[in-house]
Amino acid sequence: MAPKPYIFLIIALLFIFLPLTASIHFKLPAIFNFGDSNSDTGELVAAGVYSLEPPYGRSYFTKPSGRYCDGRLIIDFLLEAMDLPFLNAYLDSIGRTSFRKGCNFAAAGSTIEPPTARAVSPFSFRVQVAQFIRFKLQVLRLIAKGKKLHKYLPDEDYFQNGLYMFDIGQNDLAGAFYSKTFDQILALIPLILTEFETGIKTLYDQGARNFWVHNTGPLGCLAQNVAKFGTDPLSLDELGCVSKHNQAAKVFNLQLHTLCKKLQGQYAGSNFTYVDIYTIKWNLIANYSKFGFEQPIMVCCGYGGPPLNYDSRISCGKTEVLNGTTMTAKACSDSSEYVNWDGIHYSEAANQYVSSQILTGKYSDPPFSDKMPFLLGLKF
């Protein structure tokens, strides 16, 4: 058996591209994150929109943590590498929640476009940006009153010197396939990215300067989409993924990359890093056994057995009555053998692998280089 992903120890360079004439500070004071379930650390659950039960969280937190995973997400591993604490969700304010090192506005099910009546999440990208503006305003008001809350809140200059991370757009594409033709979806992509650009401009006007943008992954390889749209073998590619879903993702990513380059030149003092998540995940699925996995598409926590172990009627950890029989979607014994956790989201082991590849710097534009100012000693 190939070695598990967690034995890969990589010393990598993390890059924040700054003008050479600027006064350079390479220690990131804070992270502000926007996105969907790929980086939601508890927003949708804190909002009361959805609940997660065991076995979510079992591999690291030992209980559900608000993350749609058995453990840590990509953003968690990246923050660990930067020696920063995990981000608390914006709406998760019970107890002594600290936002000193940033805040997470990402919510599962979110889209860039305004939500439809059938949307899982009401927290579209525009809403998340509005939440950030309110967050910033409240922080500045509170710290102006005195130092009592300083240990829980970011300093004013953190809003300009911090890193703004984005991982959103997957749900816009995936959701569109339920009601639109392939050509209609391709025509929708420029409109989606116009909405994204509007949000970026708003954040720039609020002082944001450092932008870290993930493209979207091969959504045609998610069991949920294979189960729904892959019943015709001709619709699948050589890896068993739905071809048109992945084609749409590639078109989206191409236009997103172009947009990032445009914004880099358009906004003075801005620093955009575009990260090719698609290629990393595709390589993982295509070469899964090489990286210690046994199942590239089949779900760890699901129902139905091979080849997908996925049934849209029963979510991971839930119990439902199907045809008069009570059924439960249970987890596999070892989630580190699976790329996919619940049919939609990656396992902690897969997220760990993806993070290690991000931190090589080979999948970003601009790429990391030996001229970067500090080394990261990865803890995973």
Q: What is the pLDDT of residues 272-302, one digit of tens each?
A: 999 999 999 999 999 999 999 999 999 999 9
- pLDDT at residue 368 in the model: 61
Average of per-residue pLDDT across 19-40: 71
The candidate with the shortest Cα–Cα distance to 131, out of 28, 34, 200, is 34
Kindly indicate the confidence band of residue 256, based on its pLDDT and cuts at 50, 70 and 90.
very high
Predicted TM-score (pTM) of this structure: 0.91
The candidate with the shortest Cα–Cα distance to 219, out of 173, 259, 156, is 173
Residue 172 annotated to the active site: no
Could you say which of 40, 172, 342, 347 is catalytic?
Answer: 342
Q: What are phi and psi of 250, to 5 degrees?
A: -65, -40
Share of the chain above pLDDT 70, in %: 89
- pLDDT at residue 324 in the model: 94
Q: What are phi and psi of 317, to 5 degrees?
A: 85, -5
**Is domain 26-286+344-365 in CATH 3.40.50.1110, yes or no?**
yes
Average of per-residue pLDDT across 97-105: 96
- Looking at residue 89, the DSSP 8-state letter turns out to be B
- Looking at residue 72, the DSSP 8-state letter turns out to be -
- pLDDT at residue 126 in the model: 98
pLDDT in tens, 364-378: 998 864 433 344 444
Look at residue 219 and tell me whether its pLDDT is greater than 50. yes
pLDDT in tens, 159-203: 999 999 999 999 999 999 999 999 999 999 999 999 999 999 999
- pLDDT at residue 11 in the model: 27
The CA dihedral of 240, 246, 247, 251, to the nearest 10 degrees, is -160
β-sheet bridge partners, residue 299: 340
Could you say which of 335, 345, 347, 355 is catalytic?
Answer: 345
Residue 37 annotated to the active site: yes
**Residues 105, 42 contacting (CB under 8 angstroms):** no
Which residue reads 């420029």 in tokens? 190
**What residue type is 236 in one-letter code?**
L
For the chain, the average pLDDT equals 90
- pLDDT at residue 94 in the model: 80
pLDDT in tens, 318-356: 999 999 999 999 999 999 999 999 999 999 999 999 999
How far apart, in Å, are the Cα atoms of 237 and each of 178, 247, 303, 322? 20, 11, 24, 31
Higher pLDDT pick, 69 / 377: 69
Give the domain ranges of the chain: 26-286+344-365
Residue 36 annotated to the active site: no
CA pair distance 203, 369, nearest whole angstrom: 28
The CA dihedral of 92, 94, 97, 103, to the nearest 10 degrees, is 20
What number of CA atoms fall less than 13 Å from residue 226's CA on the CB side? 23
Average of per-residue pLDDT across 104-112: 98
